[in-house]
Structure 1
Amino acid sequence: MSPPTSSSSSLAEALRGWPPPVLDPAGPFSQSVTTLSWVLIGLVTLIFIGVCAALWVALYGSAELRARLGGERVVKWFGLIIPAGVLLVLLVWGLLMVRGLTTLQGDELRMRVSGNLYWWRVSYLDASGREIHADANELHIPAGRPVVVEMVSEDVIHSFWVPRLGGKMDMIPGRTNRLKLQADEPGSYGGQCAEFCGGAHALMGFVVVAHAPADWQRWMDDRLKPPPTQLSVEALRGQQLFNEVGCAACHRVAGTDAQGIAGPDLTHIGSRRSLGAGILPNTRATLIGWIADSQSIKPNNRMPAYRSLTADELNALASYLEARK
């Protein structure tokens, strides 16, 4: 299955490089946004040059040029008519350019993403809108196929943004917004909350993983299979601790008694590329560090620190979670 899970596919690496993601489209919906951005950048540059030229005339030009610059005709055309015309053309053209970001055709893959402080609840939906698979902080999509993401918020206003795959859309409590994404090629694409939502806003990222269509179908089929039941002795001890210390009250693990919904679904956490909503590679060391004291890594997140756990207990918990693939 491609692409493979590895710590090298972190959000930071997905956002690294030149050109910046917002100017490096990887799908048709982001291409529309990028084209509009370049046009606006070009117009702003022309306006800046024009203003500088007018300033030079006002300061150093001849008396005749200064008189013309301050004349009624110049003020009327360059201060009112031309700006109003340009803004009207930009408004109409911009709306036509980006209307495809929210226009539904009916054959798109459907997903729902819920914004939380400070992580993302991800649901894969069937044609009737029912959840068929739950995940967190990662979206897996087939390359070359449009995906409709239904966006809701469970607390404050967030904003969902994958610069290389589509536009930006706010997630507003009590309202469902929709946005389309598409990746032309398999790969990892970084996303970020783009609306200030609290102290750890800057640490609220996620990753979109685009697979070749056949690989994506195999990935989905694997997720729909019953979870593994064979665990090592250490992992079994971790499962016991998971219930004893209260993890099951907030987290769900399919096929077990853990059915909490306050925190991310951990059914397949062992196969995720990152931890903490895209801020850490998913390794044994980072997993232990997150369990022991997530507050020192992402202040103000809703998971309490478990500093009382011993090193052996932390390793057992990490072993159990690593087995959830």
Structure 2
Amino acid sequence: MIKNRNNLICVDPNKSSAKNTKSSESGYEKNRTHRWAILFLAVVAALFITGCASNAPLDTLDPAGRKSNDINNLINPIFVIAGVVFVFIQGAVLYLGWKFKVREPKDGEESFDGGYPDEEFPEQVHGHFAAEIGWTIGPTILMAAIAIFSVGALLSLDDVDAAPDEAVYPEMEVLVVGQQWWWEYQYYLEGVDGAEQPDFVTANEIVVPVGQDIRIHTTSRDVLHSFWIPRLNGKKDSVPGRTSPWVLQSNEIGRFAGQCTEFCGLSHAYMRMYAVSLSQENFQIWVDNQMRTREPLQEGDENYEGEQVFLLNCARCHIINGVTSRDTSGSVQLDTMALYGNIEEYRNHSDGTLSQGKYTGSANLTAGAAPNLTHFATRSSYAGSFFQLYPDAQEMADAGNYLDLAGSDYARGTLEAWLRNSPKEKPNAQPEQARGMPNLNLSEADIDLLVDYLISLD
């Protein structure tokens, strides 16, 4: 401040400007800090909100099987430990940052260039023996404990030989074959040892009896895939030319969603599947029906014209056992292999086999295969489980009424759209490269007849 000749006190403009500038800069820094704090809190809130989903179809935190329980019993304690560590570390960082933050010196204080008054410079703990031992030994013990529990869980997951005391088919095994972009299931009711062929073949939905360990073998007919039903088990890669043993088991009746988790081409995200768990009694009924072959319809029979549309347009790729049979013996496996490759190669193949010598697929870039449709109407989904055939399938399956799907209300419009132009309905399938279903250019009349026929395949 200065005095003019009239003894009036005036403010030095240079000092006032400097003070205002300093105040402005301080306010800007505070506002910026507040903005970062708000952004941080928003991100944390968003992370918490993502965990609030209900009835999520791919939920690893809602186990319904023995293997998924093993996984859940491992990750839950780890999540708790990680949460405690996160809160402790982040809390300490925020507290220390607040307590020892650089502040502007008060009036009359002198400070060094770093911004701390000399008497408030934080104590340095570098070389503090007890502290350094603590933050070295503590995390080591924590990680060692986690490693011990992890190894135990891995050994449990790797146990694929467990068998139930009571089961409809105690020796049953299922060969799970991945291909772009759907799953095939070959059932061996007495196990793969000595079996000449599977007892029946289905697609998209693997059906198992509740409470029973089912040994499965995963493989691929084209590229790498990964089989994952999160509520029932962990992930198992499906590798061309190899089979990987795995166990599938459900503690409760219902339908459980799955997803291929290995990038397998442009339509990978649309490669889904379901596991359906039935009561022992209903599973026996389901098996008996799946083993039933069909008789070709005769002229004048209901849906005869639809079957003719199927034979003219679909039988090049799809199988209906008893209708599209390539072999007079009615062999399910020979029907299947007639489409998938040379039968002699299948019988003598030395690569990609189970120990019993059955063909499991060579490492081709395309599968050259399509789902077996013998009992299409008994499945709740199609097109790699991307489309729901029955809108109420989840509720019915969870209530134990999966066998009642055939004959219930179905999504006719969706099925018609699929038959009308499947590449449009399932993006990136690339049918021109033998990947996915092509556009068959069917007339509306043929589509109508074909839908009626497919829905009759119960």
Q: TM-score of the superposition, structure 1-length normalised?
A: 0.85
1:92 aligns with 2:179: no
Partner of residue 313, structure 1: 446
Q: Secondary structure of the equivalent of 2:384?
A: coil
- Structure 2 letter corresponding to 1:182: Q
1:48-79 per-position Cα deviation (integer Å, ceiling 9, x unaligned): 1232134235424567986347745434442x
The separation in 1 between residues aligned to 2:62 and 2:309, in whole angstroms, is 45
Percent identity over the alignment is: 29
Partner of residue 226, structure 2: 159
Q: Secondary structure of the equivalent of 1:249?
A: coil
Q: Please report how far the alpha carbon of residue 285 of structure 1 lies from its aligned counterpart in structure 2 after TM superposition.
A: 2.3
Give unmatched runs, 5+ long, in structure 1: 1-14
Partner of residue 5, structure 1: none
1:238 aligns with 2:306: yes
The separation in 2 between residues aligned to 1:273 and 1:243, in whole angstroms, is 23
Give unmatched runs, 5+ long, in structure 2: 1-52, 101-119, 164-169, 326-334, 341-368, 390-410, 430-435
Question: Residue 153 and residue 226 in structure 1: after superposition, are their counterparts in 2 closer, same or farther (change >3 A)?
Answer: closer
The separation in 2 between residues aligned to 1:218 and 1:128, in whole angstroms, is 19
Partner of residue 280, structure 1: 387
The separation in 1 between residues aligned to 2:448 and 2:454, in whole angstroms, is 10
Q: Please report how far the alpha carbon of residue 142 of structure 1 lies from its aligned counterpart in structure 2 after TM superposition.
A: 0.3
1:266 aligns with 2:373: yes
Partner of residue 189, structure 2: 126
Higher relative contact order (CA 8 A, sep 6+): 1
Kept in 2, the 8 Å contact 1:54–1:69? The answer is: no
Q: How does 1:178-189 map to 2 (within 5 A)?
A: 178-189=245-256
1:146-189 per-position Cα deviation (integer Å, ceiling 9, x unaligned): 11121101222211111111112121222211221211121111
Partner of residue 304, structure 1: 438
Q: Secondary structure of the equivalent of 2:185?
A: strand
1:2-36 per-position Cα deviation (integer Å, ceiling 9, x unaligned): xxxxxxxxxxxxx9616962111112221111121
The more displaced of 276-285 and 22-31 is 276-285
Partner of residue 74, structure 1: 131
1:223 aligns with 2:290: yes
Q: Secondary structure of the equivalent of 2:217?
A: strand
Larger radius of gyration: 2
- Structure 2 letter corresponding to 1:53: G
Partner of residue 422, structure 2: 294
The more displaced of 107-116 and 291-300 is 107-116
The separation in 2 between residues aligned to 1:94 and 1:294, in whole angstroms, is 44
Q: Secondary structure of the equivalent of 1:90?
A: helix
CA RMSD of aligned residues (A): 2.6
Q: 1:210 aligns with which of 277, 280, 304?
A: 277
Question: Residue 240 and residue 230 in structure 1: after superposition, are their counterparts in 2 closer, same or farther (change >3 A)?
Answer: closer
The separation in 1 between residues aligned to 2:67 and 2:171, in whole angstroms, is 14
- Structure 2 letter corresponding to 1:240: Q
Q: TM-score of the superposition, structure 2-length normalised?
A: 0.62
Name the structure where strand makes up a greater proportion of residues: 1
1:243-262 per-position Cα deviation (integer Å, ceiling 9, x unaligned): 222x2121111012354341
